[in-house]
Structure 1
Amino acid sequence: MAAVGEAPGSAVRVGCIGAGRMARGVLGGLIISGKVPAQNISVSAPSDSNLHYFRVLMEIASAITPQQVIVSMAAGLSLRTLEKLVPDGVRILRMCPNLPCVIQEGSVVFSRGSCAGQQEADMLKGLLSVCGMCEEVPESYIDIHTGLSGSGVAYVYLFAEALTEGAVKMGMPSAVSSRIAAQTLLGAAKMILETGEHPAKLRYDVCTPGGTTIHGLHELEKGGLKATVMNAVEAATKRAKELDQQ
């Protein structure tokens, strides 16, 4: 959760509730980019690790004014829910980052609340562009982004682990296979972004009749890889929606 306001000299001031890796990644990107001076950033971390975002927002609600902009990174908390906890007229935006924001290669989506306008959207996008890709989307996409990208990073790590261990099984040292697996994933991802091709088309391009790739893909299909990953995205998305209901 972050509050954004104007400091003397038109510099942006940012306050963040929570000091986890995601907060450090986002705030670190702002500092590295020079968009927000370090002295204009304040962070508060509750001592109780089980403190809910609801309680934290309620604690500061009386201090929030329409001059500030509230940006929420809390998974599963809708704009409608957040707006019930602050005074009328407060501008709220909801964003969903993922872990690679820590190295400025993240994926961030955000949506505006009822009182936030184009100016607030442009400001947030300008600030977050240093974290990687940043796009404004309908709020209904945010929970999907959680399942696809927020949680999806873990799916990719699991796949990288499996690639690495497969190579170890065949006789390659772990340190070497881990680097090759990571570079393989990086190169494949860049090809999707830079060519604009559908992943299925790029996959088809790698396959030659009777070659190694099609034999490997056959094993993945027998294991139901595609359906399993689709189910994982669905499960994480549904869980994000449940969090708001709770």
Structure 2
Amino acid sequence: MISKNIAILGGGNLGASIAKGLVKSGLLQASQITVTNLELHMIQPLQDEIGVNITTNNIEAINNAEIVIVAVKPTVAHALLADIKPALQKDKKVLISVISGVKLQDLENVLEDVPVIRAMPNTAIAIQESITALSFNEKGLAYKDEVVEIFDQLGTTMIIPESKMPAATVLASCGIAFALRFMRAASQGGIEIGLSSKESLEVAAQIMKGASKLIIENGTHPEPEIDKVTTPLGVTIKSLNKMEHEGFSSSLVQGVVSGHKKILETES
């Protein structure tokens, strides 16, 4: 466990997922976490379900914390950062930003000498299965071990130069949606060939879990694992070739690349 308190400014999907993951991990007690939202009823379920503190007052939350996670939308980020700057500077708080498209330099321009870290997790952080990309400003590096310890309890971490953060955002954060869309499509195919909706979704979810664990635990590349089930004249290769003919891999690659371009446009 860590002894510091954490304030999460912005109790939307990602902010709420971080709070849930922190409590589930046992790294902090629920009483050490405060989540904010302008509409208290939106985060009331967090207090009811996992016991964290909730408030509409960002400054109050910051004053009761040593680490501040900002999880608001990019459109309101600048105004919020300017508003909380004095509270952050007052007691040398550490700020972790999970705001998509807002660079370290943008944060520094507003916050000046505050230690800043950019983190890009995904919503699987709620069940401690996120991959979180981290980038640090110079002052933030002093807190690297502490921040890595936090996010390692919520899945795995990857420290990268900030120049790679747009790519990490698309693949690590948006990638959850890509994987879930594959699951949905596979499940729909299963229904068409005779499985019930429940059966088909259960199979699709488990094959994704199994495939992921094969790569993670064996440290292999997908192709050798694919080769193990693609026998000559078999069903698997017939199905794979049909998918490739219809653009399966190409469409996924282009989707990732398209998302990357969108982020670069946002950051420019």
TM-score, with structure 2 as normaliser: 0.82
> What SS is found at the alignment partner of 1:61?
helix
Within 2, Cα distance between the matches of 1:95 and 1:86? 17
Tell me which of 95, 116, 128 is aligned to 1:92.
116
**Is 1:192 the counterpart of 2:215 in the alignment?**
yes
Within 2, Cα distance between the matches of 1:202 and 1:134? 25
Deviation at 1:34, TM superposition (A): 3.0
Q: Does structure 1 conserve the Cα–Cα contact (< 8 Å) formed by 2:25 and 2:128?
A: no
Unaligned runs of 5+ in 2: 40-71
In structure 2, the residue matched to 1:73 is 98
The alignment-based identity, stated in percent, is 27
Q: Does structure 2 conserve the Cα–Cα contact (< 8 Å) formed by 1:26 and 1:102?
A: yes
In structure 2, the residue matched to 1:113 is 137
Q: Does structure 1 conserve the Cα–Cα contact (< 8 Å) formed by 2:74 and 2:99?
A: no
Are residues 205 and 50 of structure 1, via their aligned partners in 2, closer, same or farther at CA, if it must alter by over 3 Å? closer
Q: Does structure 1 conserve the Cα–Cα contact (< 8 Å) formed by 2:25 and 2:154?
A: no
Are residues 186 and 141 of structure 1, via their aligned partners in 2, closer, same or farther at CA, if it must alter by over 3 Å? same
Which one scores higher on RCO, CA 8 angstroms, separation ≥ 6? 1
Within 2, Cα distance between the matches of 1:229 and 1:186? 19
Tell me which of 3, 12, 25 is aligned to 2:4.
12
In structure 2, the residue matched to 1:83 is 108
> What SS is found at the alignment partner of 1:52?
helix
Tell me which of 225, 229, 236 is aligned to 2:259.
236
Unaligned runs of 5+ in 1: 1-9
In structure 1, the residue matched to 2:52 is none
> What SS is found at the alignment partner of 1:152?
helix
> What SS is found at the alignment partner of 1:101?
helix
TM-score, with structure 1 as normaliser: 0.89
Q: For each residue in 1:83-122, what CA deviation from the matched residue of structure 2 results, as whole angstroms up to 9, or x when unmatched?
A: 10103x21000000011111111111111012222x4111
In structure 1, the residue matched to 2:81 is 57
Within 1, Cα distance between the matches of 2:104 and 2:166? 12
**Is 1:43 the counterpart of 2:35 in the alignment?**
yes
Aligned ranges for residues 28-39 of structure 1 at < 5 Å? Answer: 28-39=20-31
Tell me which of 248, 258, 268 is aligned to 1:225.
248
In structure 2, the residue matched to 1:27 is 19
Within 2, Cα distance between the matches of 1:143 and 1:51? 17
Q: Does structure 2 conserve the Cα–Cα contact (< 8 Å) formed by 1:77 and 1:244?
A: yes
Within 2, Cα distance between the matches of 1:172 and 1:223? 24
